[in-house]
Structure 1
Amino acid sequence: MKTKLSNSINTIVANLQPQEISKERRITLQPLIDYIQDKVTNDQSIRINFICTHNSRRSHLSQVWAQTLAHHFNIKNVFCYSGGTEATALFPMAADTLKNQGFTIKTLSEGKNPVYSIKYAENEAPLIGFSKTYDDSFNPQSEFAAILTCSSADQGCPFIAGAEKRIPITFEDPKAFDNTPQQAEKYAERSIQIATELFYVFSKIKS
């Protein structure tokens, strides 16, 4: 049984095209499928930490969509996190992109590193979005999969303490389009790509 998301998020999810994911990309995604399936089979909690250099764009988009799609496919005990090799701030356009795609976002605190509440379903606790290092006390310290969402974090983090599995699944940085007329379009495009690939991942899990 698929569970209730907001109507606008449901519309986006219903229109994703996972069948268009390339064979090469499916090979890249398979280790994450295997990790989640092993946890489900053994009735264990699934902790996934999405890591990028600044924890400002791709890692947050990945965290939010992974939690959303685990809920969509009714996969229990999935806990998604994000972090960086350094802390900066959740970039406003990334937050605006999620808001435009149907997530309910509230600013909990202002400042150089704002804290956001990100809600994806009526009856589920919101995710707390802010920039932090991957080993911050807010994140799991052991028994998690580390997903490297950018090549610089992949190269810069040859070892991640506490990670059971280290899986590079990199995405192009929408930052390249900041302060251009294409900014909003490119952030939305990247968010949809991430959603599509994570839809594919969770659709493969057998409970």
Structure 2
Amino acid sequence: MKKTLLFLCTGNSCRSQMAEGWARHLKSDLFEVRSAGVEKHGLNPLAVEVMAEAGVDISGYTSALVDELDIKDFDYVVTVCGHANEQCPFFSGATRKVHAGFDDPPALARNAATHEEALSHYRRVRDEIRAYVERLPAGLE
């Protein structure tokens, strides 16, 4: 039976969405994967763009709150940003919470002079998240 895995970020717009996309793409044989936020910020179009470059389509994903998910009890919750780690909602005693923080692409790209420069920040974080997901389930215990 697959383990359930939630990637949690502040707004469920970028990092958690990329992590969900990678996990569905690379680890769907091991995990039932979702992502959510402690707030809803909407799906980040630049995250969609850089994931598509890597062959992973997240364009149909939507920003969700934890309470809106169809799975309520997760085996693992991975927070991908510091704020979500600090504000992580309570999960049942069986849930293993792990923090794997990644830089915030929108914050890094805020002062980018060009679209390409902005995308370079998203690509770096995308690739770091992929490397993390590739190592799963190591790092969850």
TM-score, normalised on structure 1?
0.59
Secondary structure of 1:135 counterpart: helix
Matched with 1:186 is 121
Q: Which residue of 2 aligns with 1:48?
A: 5
Question: Does the alignment pair 1:159 with 2:72?
Answer: no
**Residues 149-186 of structure 1: CA deviation (Å, up to 9, x unaligned):** 10001111262357611111111111121351321011
Give runs of aligned pairs for residues 39-78 of structure 1, distance below 5 A: 44-71=1-28, 76-78=29-31
Task: Return structure 1 stretches of 4+ with deviation > 4 angstroms.
Answer: none
Matches within 5 A, 1:8-157: 44-71=1-28, 76-104=29-57, 116-117=59-60, 129-138=61-70, 140-157=71-88
CA distance in 2, matches of 1:168, 1:104: 25
Given that 1:49 and 1:80 are in contact with CA atoms closer than 8 Å, whether structure 2 keeps it comes out as yes
Checking the alignment, whether the CA contact within 8 Å between 1:49 and 1:134 is kept in structure 2 is no
Structure 1 residues 185 and 160: alpha-carbon distance in aligned structure 2, compared to 1, 3 A threshold: same
Distance 1:84 1:103 in 2: 21
Alignment map for 1:170-185 (pairs within 5 Å): 170-176=101-107, 177-178=109-110, 180=112, 181=114, 182-185=117-120
d(CA) in 2 for partners of 1:132 and 1:146? Answer: 15
| Structure 1 residues 66-111: Cα deviation after superposition (integer angstroms, max 9, x where no partner) | 121214xxxx352110000011201110111111112245xxxxxx
Aligned length: 134
8 Å CA contact 2:105–2:122 kept in 1: the answer is yes
CA distance in 1, matches of 2:68, 2:93: 12
Mark the runs of 5 or more structure 1 residues left unpaired by the alignment: 1-43, 106-115, 118-128
Are the aligned partners of 2:6 and 2:76 in contact in 1 as well (CA < 8 Å)? yes
What do you get for the CA RMSD once the two structures are aligned? Answer: 2.0
Paired with 1:56 and 1:162, the residues of 2 have a C-alpha distance of 27
Equivalents in 2 of 1:196, 1:90: separation in Å? Answer: 22
Shifted more, 193-202 versus 61-70: the winner is: 193-202
Structure 2: which 5+ runs fail to align? none
Q: Based on CA coordinates, which of the two structures has the bigger radius of gyration?
A: 1
